[in-house]
């Protein structure tokens, strides 16, 4: 891979393409490369400025006449542990997550495929091959990890490891002020156990234990069913023209 100077990153603009969140809209993105020794520092700064990461690319929306995509981060220390969230933790109490280096595996890809086929069969990632998945996980120069979730075993309290098949996974970046959830996926059966919600709640607990202030969820788009769940996790901050502003309830 060509090494690039990160002290003065170059930014580029994509051509217009159909918006995946709002029907009838077109999207454009501004992006730059995250490479070299300072990739993690640049990713840190850009994430705080509303960018997201995909492999070694940092991007954010730059759509003409539309500001629907809003960067969202959860305020960890003041998070509202509602009765519903506590019930989700209890329902998944037998699940434990283990942070490991961001290395792809056939087990991860098998779960990833089942998740896509069940939840996002018509999405932009539906045709991802095992090689595409491997690139998503390992093609990066930033400080990242994979958290693998399995059922607790008799030695989990001592080892911190679960046993049995993989039931969920999350690719997560470590930032100076928080954890940024790049992509997560989970066993789609049974749907009632709330594994997607559990993964976010687990990240909130992890961030708190690490003394970090935020969990970055990416973009929230009002009116998009795909993004509606993010508004549940409050208090949170939204990035606008005046910087990050607190939101205590869904708008």
Q: Which of 40, 142, 19, 152 is nearest to 97 (CA)?
A: 152
Query: To the nearest whole percent, how much of the chain has pLDDT over 90?
Result: 75
Q: Tell me what pLDDT residue 7 has.
A: 63
Which pair of tokens denotes residue 153?
A: 């075993």
Q: In angstroms, rounded to a whole number, what is the distance separating the alpha carbons of residues 227 and 251?
A: 13
* Residue 6 or residue 91, greater confidence: 91
User: Which residues does 34 contact at the CB level (< 8 Å), separation at least 6?
Assistant: 6, 42, 43, 46, 53, 56, 57, 58, 140, 141, 142
Q: How large is the average pLDDT for residues 112-138?
A: 88
Domains of the chain: 12-68 (no CATH), 73-247 (3.40.630.30)
Asked if pLDDT for residue 3 goes beyond 60, the answer is no
Q: How does the average pLDDT of the chain come out, rounded? A: 91
Q: How large is the average pLDDT for residues 28-34?
A: 96
Q: In angstroms, rounded to a whole number, what is the distance separating the alpha carbons of residues 184 and 248?
A: 25
CB atoms within 10 A of CB 225: 8
């Amino acid at each position: 891979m060509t090494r690039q100077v990160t002290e003065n990153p170059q930014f580029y603009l994509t051509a217009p393409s159909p918006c995946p969140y709002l029907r009838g809209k077109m999207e454009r993105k501004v992006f730059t490369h995250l490479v070299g020794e300072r990739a993690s520092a640049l990713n840190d700064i850009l994430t705080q400025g509303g960018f997201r990461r995909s492999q070694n690319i940092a991007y954010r929306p730059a759509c003409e006449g539309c500001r629907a995509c809003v960067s969202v981060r959860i305020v960890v220390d003041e998070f509202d542990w509602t009765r519903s969230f506590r019930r989700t933790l209890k329902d998944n109490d037998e699940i434990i997550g283990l942070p490991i280096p961001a290395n792809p595996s056939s087990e991860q890809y098998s779960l990833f495929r089942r998740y896509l086929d069940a939840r996002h069969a018509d999405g932009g990632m539906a045709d991802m091959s095992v090689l595409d998945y491997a690139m998503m996980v390992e093609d990066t120069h930033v400080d990242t990890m994979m958290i693998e979730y399995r059922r607790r075993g008799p030695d989990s309290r001592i080892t911190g490891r679960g046993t049995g098949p993989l039931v969920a996974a999350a690719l997560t970046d470590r930032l100076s002020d928080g954890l940024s959830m790049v992509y997560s996926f989970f066993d789609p059966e049974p749907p009632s156990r709330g594994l997607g919600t559990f993964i976010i709640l687990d990240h909130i607990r992890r961030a708190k234990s690490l003394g970090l202030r935020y969990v970055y969820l990416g973009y929230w788009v009002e009116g998009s069913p795909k993004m509606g769940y993010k508004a549940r996790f409050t208090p949170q901050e939204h990035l606008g023209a005046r910087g990050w502003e607190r939101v205590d309830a869904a708008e």
